Amino acid sequence: MKRLRIYADTSVFGGCFDEEFSRDSLRLFEEIKSGNFILILSDTTLRELHGAPAQVKEIIANIPMNNLEIIPFSDEIDELREAYLAAGIVGPLSADDAEHIACASIADVDLIVSWNFKHIVHFEKIKQYQAVNMLKGYHIIPIHTPREVVSNEEENV
C-alpha cells in the first residue's frame, strides 16, 4: 500500500509541546516513525526550526531517514509563493505561511498538516490556495490538522 506523503509545517512541531495540541502532534510523529506516513520537510521548515529548543529538533532526529524527505528551496517555490501573495491570500508578513503551501504543492504531497488556523487551516484560505494551484497547473492538496489525520485508537474500542 502506498504511504501518504505528508507535509508538516512548523506549527505541528511546536504543537508537540502545547497542552491543546500535543497529543495529536506526538501521535502523528509516532505514526511517521513507525512508517505509516512519509514526512515531507522543506528548507522553510528547517529554517524556522533552526533556533528551536533541542527537544523540538529531536523530533526530526528521531525520524528514520526512509520515512523522511527534504524539499530544497527553488525558484518554482518562490514563484508560487509570490502568486499566493499576489492573490491576497496572506499578506507579506505571512509570506512564510504561503511558502509552506508552495513547498508542499511543488513537492506534490498527498496532504498538508498544520495547526495554523489563521493562515493555513482555514476554509477560505484553503479554497484560495487551491484556486491558485489550479490556475498555475498544480494539484489541489488537502489541508488538515494532525487531529484529522492520526488514527484514533479510542474510537476503535
pLDDT by residue, tens only, the chain of 157 residues: 799 999 999 999 999 999 999 999 999 999 999 999 999 999 999 999 998 999 999 999 999 999 999 999 999 999 999 999 999 999 999 999 999 999 999 999 999 999 999 999 999 999 999 999 999 999 999 999 999 999 876 554 4
157 in a structural domain: no
What's the full length of the chain, in residues? 157
What is residue 151's predicted lDDT score, i.e. its pLDDT?
81
The predicted model scores a pTM of 0.94
19 in a structural domain: yes
Domain around 47: 4-151
Give the domain CATH number at 136.
Answer: 3.40.50.1010
Q: Where are the beta strands (DSSP E) in 20-136?
A: 37-42, 68-71, 111-113
